[in-house]
């Protein structure tokens, strides 16, 4: 059909429950001590070549290197908002050429009394414009 696009398939690589410590929050108490944050990332990639060749060189992203970058940035910086933390992590992921999009779930355990966690989930796609 004219003008109709075929559905695109996107493979995903998940990095679940990356537990880090950073300065996050707006109160004096929160700005003083590092707090736990938990990140879960879903990287939108194309894994077909790596799946066929079974060769690490064909993988769309080296997730060990990417994770080390995220750890260094999160633990080396401070954030007022969990939204800012998630946005910064998404930008790091999208700087990788093999990643076309990312979903970042960022949680701050113990942020609210009676709640296990407070979190935000964002999805960002590479801007092709």
Active site (catalytic) residues: 108
Phi, psi of 35 (to 5 degrees): -125, 160
């Amino acid at each position: 059909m004219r003008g109709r696009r075929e559905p695109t398939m996107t493979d995903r690589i998940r990095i679940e429950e990356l537990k880090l410590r950073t300065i996050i929050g707006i109160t004096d108490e929160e700005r003083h001590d590092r707090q736990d944050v938990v990140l879960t990332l879903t990287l939108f990639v194309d894994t077909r070549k790596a799946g066929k060749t079974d060769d690490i060189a064909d993988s769309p992203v080296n997730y060990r290197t990417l994770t080390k970058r995220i750890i260094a940035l999160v633990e080396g910086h401070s954030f007022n908002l969990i939204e800012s933390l998630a946005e910064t992590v998404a930008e790091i992921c999208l700087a990788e050429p093999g990643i076309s999009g990312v979903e970042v779930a960022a949680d701050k355990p113990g942020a609210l009394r009676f709640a296990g966690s407070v979190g935000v989930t964002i999805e960002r796609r590479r801007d092709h414009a």
